[in-house]
Amino acid sequence: MPWKDGKTWVYSITYDEGCEELLRYALPLHRAYGVPGHVALVASQVGVPRDLPGSSYHGMMILSKAQIAGLVQEGWGVSCHSLTHCGVTFENAEREVVAARGVLEETLGMTVPLFCVPGDNTGHPASLAYAPKAGYTAIMTIYDRVNTRETDLYHLGRVPLHTEYPAPFFSVYDPYKRIHQAIDMEGWIIDYCHCPMPDTPIHPAKDCTTQELERRFATVREIGGDRVWLAEPNEVVQWLLAQGAEA
């Protein structure tokens, strides 16, 4: 059997930045459909308004330590989304990748073994180079692909769960996105978006709406049945590492 408890594929979802609005618009759906969530947090911006001028999420309140602890208690996970979200380079990786982990762990009072590359994938090579020094067990990117048990944990792909792709694609929302591929591959989908809102996404190429999020969860449950393992990424990484240790 390929995954934990004989499940044949895995579904995870992550929210970058960790906006407080998740409590209002995403958490109820997670509870209703039994899907654990995950937030990728900028280490220097916990419990404060997001400070990144130019970002679609600038000024939005970020989850506090206590709110994050509450989510973790009900099965959610956390990753480090760099120190300041300025984009990881070989020049700043000591700070943005290595020091960031210590800052976030100190702030949250918990271990954070997963790194999530901020911005786009251009920061991946420098993140890769410094992740071992920081002791991260895995790195999440935004390469749009299904992971498998053989995927290098420092190259985890994530599937954009967005209302519409940017130019030149303009693709429409697809609640089935990569699900049948994941089933065929016995793979692992990690969805990603930021902060779903009712009716209109904050940014169509960075988010979906709450209605679209609910359709995704309903589709995962309907097609996945009892074959899908609903887990947050840290749990899956830990399980994979334990399998490797046994082998």
Least distance from C-beta 88 to Zn ion, angstroms? 11
Least distance from C-beta 65 to Zn ion, angstroms? 19
Least distance from C-beta 217 to Zn ion, angstroms? 22
C-beta of 120 vs 222, nearer to Zn ion: 120
- String of DSSP letters for the chain: --SGGG-SEEEEEEEES-BTTHHHHTHHHHHHHT---EEEE-TT-SSSB---TTSTTTTPBBPPHHHHHHHHHTT-EEEE--SSSS---TTTHIIIIIIHHHHHHHHHTS---EEE--SSGGGHHHHHHHHHHHT-SEEE------B-TTS-GGGB--EE--SBPPTTT-PBP-TTTTHHHHHHHT-EEEEEES--BSSS-SSTTT--BHHHHHHHHHHHHHHHTTTEEE--HHHHHHHHHHHHHH-
The residues binding Zn ion (CB under 5 A) are 16, 118
C-beta of 113 vs 118, nearer to Zn ion: 118
C-beta of 3 vs 130, nearer to Zn ion: 130
C-beta of 118 vs 187, nearer to Zn ion: 118
Least distance from C-beta 15 to Zn ion, angstroms? 10
Using CB positions, name the residue nearest to Zn ion. Answer: 16
Least distance from C-beta 104 to Zn ion, angstroms? 14
C-beta of 58 vs 65, nearer to Zn ion: 58
